[in-house]
Amino acid sequence: MHTHAPRGRWLALTAALLGWMFDGMEMGLFPLVGKDALRDLLQSNAQQEIDRWYGVIIAGFLVGAATGGVLFGWLGDKIGRVRAMTVSVMLYSLCSGGSAFAQEAWQLAVLRFAGALGMGGEWALGVALVMEIWPNKSRAWLAGWIGAFGNLGYTLVGSFKLVLIEVGGNLAPSLASLGLPTDSVDYLTAHNNWRLLMLFGAVPSLLTFLIRIFVPESERWEEGKAEGKTSHWSGRDLVGVLVGATAGAVTIGLSVVDIPNSLRLLGTLVGFVVVAGGFLYPVRKYVSRAGVSPEEQRRTIGRMLLAAGLSGVALLGTWAGLMWMYLWVSALPGGKVPEAVAYMQIISSLGAAAGCVIAAVLGGRFGRRPVYAVMCVLSAVTVVGFYRLNTEYGTVFLLSSGLLGLVTASFYGWLPLYLPELFPTAVRATGQGFGFNCGRVIAAVGSLQMPNLLAAFKNDYGQACALVAGVYVLGLMLIVIAPETKGKPLPE
């Protein structure tokens, strides 16, 4: 029986919700400023070069998040959810703020990768902590709020961007009045304030003090530690994570070097296999040392791969499809106004927050499998409709972006509900960290191929991104073999 005091449960939930909100803010930063940042760093307006680096940086961020999900999931299963979560939040905060001082596109890519390590880890750790501390009957609502707060982070950073636009020419004098040198003010406010917006990403570091001082550790994890279950994790197993991360970096590099597309595609596929194998290695060694039966070992690894597939469908639809609407909107009539991207992000993220709550509640009531299947069908229809029917930026475009967010982001309320239910306490953070974040590697592969797809469609974002909607068919196939967990307690 797990009986955390109400105060402890609420503190843990508050810290985790804030963490997920800042995760969303971190994810929403680059799509919001990417075009301005790359024009500045590349000293070029060449769309093909901007598209290429945009894809590389998104892919690097996704591979970093995948690596962080496994790395910090391992750390959370070994030393505790709370301590590991503190480190993860501090890491992505500092790297996000440091991105404001990048001088080259590759430096921005490296900092986004490093920050994503912490962001990916915080998701897995926060989900494990909250689901273990709160009663089973609360899981659907909790999952919904997890996804909702993640998307509210997009709203937060989009609103900050609007404030900067509204302040306009008064911003530089205001900063100078605070005593900042003129050179520093000009540096931070050049190219539509993208550096100042990235500096805003350092704010979540304040959350680490709340986490470390007030948030209680999971009693389920404490009991596992007392029983010796955490001792089976070994630091030397992290060599697998290193191999996986290196393979991911090499895969990203293939998109930058000048080689035939056939060779690039082959290298990408091989790289993904190596990434998955490396990220699975720590869990495979753990279950072997823990004396888990071969049948249970196969089930654990199988569920990790299933989780990666289910997550990958949602993430590929988002990162290889939806994230490119930030570049697409400026190509539409009326879409070049400075506030277009910010309004689009705010409205789509508010829709996404609502979608997360709705999907989780429906999943709790009607079952995980049927709700996932419905989300796949609705997402495919909505993505195609959004990209094929919108012909200009305006009220209809913004409202449809809200609908797009509501439908396609609903998966991020469903996943925090379902993934913790697949794994026992001893491997929960690592298992769901692998599942959700390895799905990001799948999305990274898709993001890397988007420039080629765009070139094939002569830079028609609408046709290219609508084609990506076909990934939801794979989701319908995967959910058929997934176990139904409705009404069952979390595995011990």
pLDDT digits (tens, 9 = 90+) for 166-193: 887 677 787 777 777 878 878 888 888 8
- In whole angstroms, give the CA distance from residue 87 to residue 199: 19
Q: Does the pLDDT value for residue 226 go beyond 70?
A: yes
The pLDDT of residue 4 is: 57
Q: Does the pLDDT value for residue 2 go beyond 70?
A: no
Q: Domain limits of the chain?
A: 7-212+237-480
For the ranges 129-138, 275-284, 416-425, the lowest mean pLDDT is seen at 129-138
Q: Does the pLDDT value for residue 150 go beyond 80?
A: yes
Token duo for residue 112: 């986004």
DSSP letters, 297-317, are: HHHHHHHHHHHHHHHHHHHHH
Average pLDDT of span 98-121 = 90
DSSP letters, 65-108, are: HHHHHHHHHHHHHHH-HHHHHHHHHHHHHHHHHHGGG--SHHHH
Q: Does the pLDDT value for residue 90 go beyond 80?
A: yes
Residue-wise pLDDT for 408-434, tens only, equals 999 999 998 898 889 887 778 778 878
Cα dihedral across residues 447, 451, 453, 458: positive or negative = positive
Percent of the chain, pLDDT > 70? 97
The pLDDT of residue 185 is: 79
Q: Does the pLDDT value for residue 306 go beyond 90?
A: yes
Q: 42 and 90 in contact (C-beta within 8 Å)? A: no
For the ranges 66-75, 256-265, 266-275, the lowest mean pLDDT is seen at 256-265
Look at domain 7-212+237-480 and name its CATH class: mainly alpha
| Side-chain-facing half-sphere of 433: CA atoms under 13 Å | 42
Token match 């709020």: residue? 145
- Which among 271, 306, 361 is positioned nearest to 474, based on CA atoms? 306
